[in-house]
Chain A
Amino acid sequence: MIDYKAMINGVAVISLAGMALPGAASAEDFSIWVRSDGSEFMPRLVEAFNAESEHHANLQIVPVDELVQKYAIAAAGGSAPDALSLDVVFNPAFASVGQLRDMTDFAHSLPYFDSLSKAHLEVGSWEGKNYGLPFSGDASLLIWNKDLFEKAGLDPEDAPDSWAEIEKDAEAVSALGDNTYGFYFSGNCGGCNIFTFTPLIWASGGDIFQHNGRTATLDSDEVAAAVEFYRGMVQKGLVPEGARTDTGTNFFGAFANGNIGIAPSGSFAIGALNNQYPDLNYGVTYLPGSQAGEWSSFAGGDNIVISAATDESKIPAIEDFIRFAYSPEGQTILARNGAMPVRSDVAEQALAGLDERYLISVKAMAGGSTPYSVVFNDLINSRNGPWITALNEAFFANSAEQARQALEQGQQEMQSIIDAAY
């Protein structure tokens, strides 16, 4: 027998309880995903939030190469996470297919909205609305080995600040011989080169996209000039042979081994080098343009986004979490665990007491850019995409003419992929 009476009473009690506390937000559970790159800072941030808040965030860490696929499968099955810390480069693609919730009103309600990373916000917007807010930062930088500089008779404290100076210093370090090379870059890695090579182009006034990613400009003079800079160093033997086939596996390791004078890298390397290679004596500076004084950076990292299908009742909890992440406490947790703060008005406070090289990263990110494309994966990250295919051929071409042809070919392929997407 089912006791209907008891059931009805029970329902009445529950609804009474609900009425007794009008307006009080109930505690909510929500799920949040992060790519494995965030496995240092994110668990600590979520833990601190859960300890303080009435709400509860359930964190899941997803392998970086599978995040988009996993999310898509979960979304198709109706079990997408409520919130997601999403690599900024995928934000346009997710927003353009209606997968994300419009966060414009919430964003503008934040009193410190103007201090949030501009580059993150730009890439998080679609048709004038915000579909992603800055969450964690990662900036690209140039690093140099001070010990090798000293051995080569260079001033170890003098950061190279133009292409000509990089090349001159690299020649001096290469002259040391004995498997020591002046410069290293991952010559067959699309992701590494969008991160560290495009800033050279941006700093010199060029770009690889125009019109919000609708036009590719890989055949522009500024791109060709930056390619010539790398190609020149390859031709002079300043770069180890392995760079040509490095698909990113050695992006960090090559410099860390201690036989490379200068390498483009990112803010992530500061924490990693300090922890894993405490004896390596290195400096950090901006990625320069062709002339001294010019510089730029790739403002990377994650945006926080909310799935379009997320239940309305969970939104206040997620917004609380975002506010917590933006608080000085949240930004400090980020900064101490390998990510850059994304709120510039509390960045110095968050970084207080940390390696001062981080401050350069924060400034680099504030002045950096992020490329905008709804087909980013296809064009840039793909190991067989037009970006890295063209660059690899051009970097290691035997003549400037050959390099130019490779770029023109890449330009055509990029434009045809972009055209097919719109």
Chain B
Amino acid sequence: MPDVQSHPLPSAAPTPRRRRRRGWHGLLYTLPALALVVVFFLIPLGMTVWMSLHNWPLLGNARWIGLANYTRLWNDASFWNALLFTAQYTIVSTIGLLGLALALALMVQHQGRATGLYRTVWFLPVVTGFASASLLWAWLSNVDAGLFSPLAQRIGLTEGRFNLLADFDTAFWSVTVMVVWKMAGFYMIILMSGLQAIPGDYQEAARIDGASALQRFLWITVPLIRQPFALALIMCVAGSMLAFDQFYIILNGGPRNQTVTAVYKIFNESFVSFRLGYGAALSVILLLILMVLSIIQLRLLRDRGES
């Protein structure tokens, strides 16, 4: 991660006048970025909130209904079920992803003969798009024409063909395994850069003092990768809370609509049922939930030394 904080130049402390001019310059330089944020984030956000206060069909005229979308949302069991499922998926996939990513990062943090190869191999799935990876997985899991079921039958694991996607448990795990396979390499890179930033002297000093590998990991590595870990955690949780493609493409939200995620529900309301206003209200609530989650994570992972 590049350091985005601006540091005053160590040479010659700037005079007040110069500092003022620098402030102007700073604003000038950030204007393009600011304009992008306003046009592509703040205005759409405002419009979403505005739409959420209307009955806004895809076709026909919008009608102001105040907070009715939000009161309806409060009683909409299917949205809360979707959110509950999303939370469950987030917990499972985050543990799987970060656990595996940390293990992989520990393996490839040092320079060695084959580490370059391993890094590349583990990172490769990341460059596949989620949609293409999902299509690939949908085919592999197909009970008649795929790989897993016919293979399991051939080597005698199952008696007949077993349809992985027809039961909630197997379907859910099948998708989660795909996500871990696809994304672990990405978090591996983040954690690896954190590991490499730990000065070698610390480990060496601890080793001289007779600390075991486990002790060194727990008391040196873990505290020092707190920041990259926090970054990986927030990205992973936010990404999982926004999961959509994989459940849409592989499972269509099935079996029995048990794998409809929060974003999937928003998509359905907006573009299948054509209720854009209600979809906007759901988006606003999801945004608030994500904000709260990110703040909690940042607090938990803040360095104790910082105030």
Contacts and interface: CB of A to CB of B under 8 A. Distances in A.
Contacts of A98: 60
B194 to A, nearest CB: 40
A378 interface: yes
A75 B163 contact: no
B254 interface: yes
A242 interface: yes
A99 B60 contact: yes
B163 A377 contact: no
Interface residue range, chain B: 20 to 34
Interface in B248-294: 252-257, 260, 264, 268, 271-274
B272 A245 contact: no
A241 interface: yes
A99 B252 contact: no
A69 interface: yes
A11 to B, nearest CB: 39
B236 interface: no
Contacts of A393: 256
A279 B160 CA distance: 31
B99 to A, nearest CB: 30
Contact of B260 (A71, A244, A384): A384
Max chain A C-beta neighbours (<10 A), residue from B57, B165, B252: B252
A71 B57 CA distance: 13
Interface string B155-177: 00000110101100000000000
A257 to B, nearest CB: 9
A396 B165 CA distance: 14
B273 A378 contact: yes
Given A377-B274, A384-B260, A389-B257, A69 B58 contact: yes
Contact of A383 (B58, B60, B252): B252
B166 A389 contact: no
Nearest to B271: A69
A140 interface: no
Nearest to A406: B256
A95 to B, nearest CB: 10
A87 B143 CA distance: 32
B58 A68 contact: yes
A130 interface: no
Given A98-B60, A99-B60, A377-B272, A383 B253 contact: yes
A318 to B, nearest CB: 20
Contacts of A392: 254-256
B204 interface: no
Max chain B C-beta neighbours (<10 A), residue from A75, A99, A247: A247
Interface string A362-381: 00000000000001011001
Contacts of B161: 241
B59 A245 contact: no
A142 B220 CA distance: 70
Contacts of A93: 59
B145 interface: yes
A382 B257 contact: no
Contact of A72 (B59, B144, B260): B59
B203 interface: no
B109 interface: no
A392 B264 CA distance: 20
Contacts of B58: 68-69, 72
Interface string A208-247: 0000000000000000000000000000000011101101
Q: Which 7 A-B pairs have the closest CB atoms?
A: A97-B60, A242-B144, A72-B58, A383-B252, A245-B165, A378-B273, A382-B272
Interface of B: 57-61, 142-145, 160-161, 163, 165-166, 252-257, 260, 264, 268, 271-274
21 contacts: A69-B58, A72-B58, A72-B59, A75-B59, A97-B59, A97-B60, A241-B144, A241-B160, A241-B161, A242-B163, A244-B166, A245-B255, A247-B252, A375-B273, A381-B272, A382-B268, A384-B253, A384-B260, A384-B264, A384-B268, A392-B256
Interface of A: 68-69, 71-72, 75, 93-94, 97-99, 188, 240-242, 244-245, 247, 250, 375, 377-378, 381-385, 389, 392-393, 396
